[in-house]
Amino acid sequence: MNKDRYGINVKQFCREHEKEIERRIVAGEDPAAILEWHLLILSWLQHERLIHLLVVIMSVMVEIFALFLTFFLPEGNAYACLFMLAFLILVICYFAHYFFLENMTQHWYRIACELKGRCEAASAGRTAEAADGDIAASGAPKEESEV
């Protein structure tokens, strides 16, 4: 229980979540229950994405201020330049992490659509295998020619 005391590895958390969805689908669990659980986890990821967007925006604002200091202060340019470069590295890292969160959220939207399709297929009396898409392969719905 204390393993997450100092934060979690979001990339590992996302991989584990997708494996859990695959395991539950293979086990034949109700797609509606899987979809409900997935949407809860997706809302957590959306919150994480929002917070990181705000942090990125504020970091860029500080970077712009540091850039202003670097170019418009007559003395002390060395310190302002160091501050600007250090913050630039931080902004680049935040952008990379935000890029990951954004792409993962879009990927999980596709998984939710597939699970919804499985729910509709199950409610129509068809089996889950007849539903379009294959989460184990790519997470994206299959094309008509692949079915």
The DSSP H or E segment spanning 95 is: helix 77-123
Please, what is the end-to-end C-alpha distance for the chain in angstroms?
A: 43
CA–CA separation, 98 and 21 (whole Å):
24
In the chain, the percentage of residues whose pLDDT exceeds 90 is: 52
**DSSP-assigned states of every residue in 22-80:** HHHHHTT--HHHHHHHHHHHHHHHHHHHHHHHHHHHHHHHHHHHHHHHHHH-SS-HHHH
Q: Residue 5: pLDDT above 60?
A: yes
For residue range 116-145, list pLDDT tens digits in order. Answer: 998 888 888 755 454 445 554 444 444 444
* Dihedral, 93, 96, 98, 100 alpha carbons, nearest 10: -140
In this prediction, residue 2 carries a pLDDT of 62
Q: Residue 39: pLDDT above 60?
A: yes
CA–CA separation, 95 and 97 (whole Å):
5
Q: Are 84 and 69 in contact (CB under 8 A)?
A: yes
Place of tokens 């934060």: 7
In this prediction, residue 138 carries a pLDDT of 47
pTM equals: 0.71
In this prediction, residue 21 carries a pLDDT of 93
CA–CA separation, 46 and 35 (whole Å):
16
CA–CA separation, 104 and 62 (whole Å):
27
In the chain, the percentage of residues whose pLDDT exceeds 70 is: 83
Mean pLDDT (the chain) is 82
Residue 15: both structure tokens together: 């991989």
Domain extent listing, the chain: 10-128
For residue range 42-99, list pLDDT tens digits in order. Answer: 999 999 999 999 999 999 999 998 888 888 877 767 778 888 899 999 999 999 999 9
